[in-house]
Amino acid sequence: MRDAYLIAMNELRVTIRNPFWAVSSLFQPIIYLLLFGPLLNGVAASRGLPGGDNAVQFFAPGLLVMNALFAAGFEGFTLRDKLDSGFIERLRVTPISRLALTMGFILQSAINLIIQSIALIVCGAFFGLHFDIGGSILLVLLIVLIGITMSSISFRLALIIREGGILAGIVNTFVLPAMILSGIMLPISFGPPIIQFIAKFDPFLYAVDASRALINGAIGDPSVWMAFAIFIALSVITLGVFIRGMREAVA
C-alpha cells in the first residue's frame, strides 16, 4: 500500500502543478456558474425547477457529477501517455506489485476529484449555494465512487486502444449522452416520455438526484441510497475489470 501511495502522490504532484489542471478544473465550472446559471435562473422563473427556484442550488450539485464524469472519464489519456513513454514498463520491473501500481492510479484520480469537488462547492457558495456540511461530505464520497467507476473504465480502455483520438471519441460517445440524460443541465421531467424512459437507465440520473438531495442535507432521500447502491456496485465491478486488465495486458 505504501507503493500505491507513492505512485499516487507522484502522479498527483505532476498533475496539480500543471497550470492546465487548475484552469480546466476550476475555470470551466466557474464559466458554467457564471454563464449558464443566469440562463437557468430564467428557466426557474418561468417554469420552476424541482427543489426550489434557486438555479445554483439545482445546478451546482450536478456540476460536481459532471466534473467527475469528464475528469475521471479522460484519465485514460494520462495512462496511455505513460504506457507509450515506457514509464509503466519501468515501474513494472521494480518490486512494486501489479495491484499497488493499479491502485496508485485510481487513488491519484480519487484524491484529484476530492480536491476539485471541494473547490467547486466553495466556488458555488460564492454564487449563492447553500450546502449542508454532513450531506456534502457524503456527496464527495459519492463523487469518489463515480470517479472510481469512470476512471476504471477509462484506464481499461486505454490499455486496449493505442490511438489517443479514438480513445477520445469513444469516451465522448458515452459520456455526453450519459450527461444529458442525467438531468445535469435541465430536469429530465421537461422532456418527452420517451426521453424520461431512457433516462431511467442512466445511472448518473440517480447520482444527480442524490447529489441535489445531499447538498441540502436530505440524507434520508431515497435517491441517496439508490445512488450509493448503484455506484458501489459499479465501482467494484469496473475496478475489478481494470485490475484484471492491468494483470493481463501488462502481466
Partner 1 sequence: MTDSIIHTEKLCKRFAGPKKEVVEAVRDLDLDVAKGEIFGLLGPNGAGKTTTMRMLCTLLSPSGGKATITGFDLARQPHEIRRHIGYVGQKGGMEHVASGRENLMLQAQLYRMSKDEARRRSNELIERLKLTAFADRKTETYSGGQRRIFDLASGVIHSPQLLFLDEPSTGLDPQSRARVWEEAKVLHEQGTTVFLTTHYLEEADALCDRVAIVDQGRIAAIGSPAELKKQIAGDIITLGYEDETRAKAAFQLLEGQRVILEKHDLGTSLQLYVDRGDEALPEILRIVGQGNYPAKSVSLTRPSLDDVFLKLTGRSLRGDGGQS
Shortest approach of partner 1 to residue 11 CB, angstroms?
9
Q: Which of 52, 81, 169, 237 binds partner 1 (CB under 8 A)?
A: 81
* Tally: H helices and E strands in the chain: 13, 0
Determine the interface stretch with partner 1 among 32-40, 65-73, 78-86, 116-124 (rule: CB under 8 A): 78-86
Distance CA 77, CA 15 (A): 13
User: Should residue 3 be labelled a site residue for partner 1 when binding is judged by CB under 8 A?
Assistant: yes
Q: Which is nearer to partner 1, 99 or 236 (CB)?
A: 99
- Among the residue ranges 8-16, 48-56, 117-125, 191-199, the one whose residues contact partner 1 (CB under 8 A): 8-16
Q: Which three cell numbers stand for residue 87?
A: 514509464
Region for residue 130 given its phi and psi (left: phi exceeds 0; alpha: psi -120 to 50; beta: otherwise): beta
Instruction: Confirm or reject binding of residue 36 to partner 1 (CB under 8 A).
Output: no
Residue 158 Cβ vs partner 1, minimum distance, rounded to whole Å: 16
Q: How far is CA 5 from CA 74, 86, 102, in A?
A: 21, 21, 11
**49: β partners:** 52
Is residue 19 near partner 1 by the rule CB under 8 A? Answer: no
> In this chain, which stretch among 10-18, 47-55, 137-145, 161-169 interacts with partner 1, using CB under 8 A?
10-18
The CA-to-CA distance between both ends of the chain, in Å, stands at 19
d(CA 115, CA 122): 11
In angstroms, rounded to a whole number, what is the distance separating the alpha carbons of residues 216 and 194?
A: 30
52, β-bridge pairs? 49
Nearer to partner 1, 1 or 233 (CB): 1
Site for partner 1 in 85-104 (CB under 8 A): 85-96
Report the residue number, 85 or 172, with the smaller CB distance to partner 1: 85
Residues that bind partner 1 (CB under 8 A): 3, 6-7, 10, 13-14, 18, 81-82, 84-96, 250-251
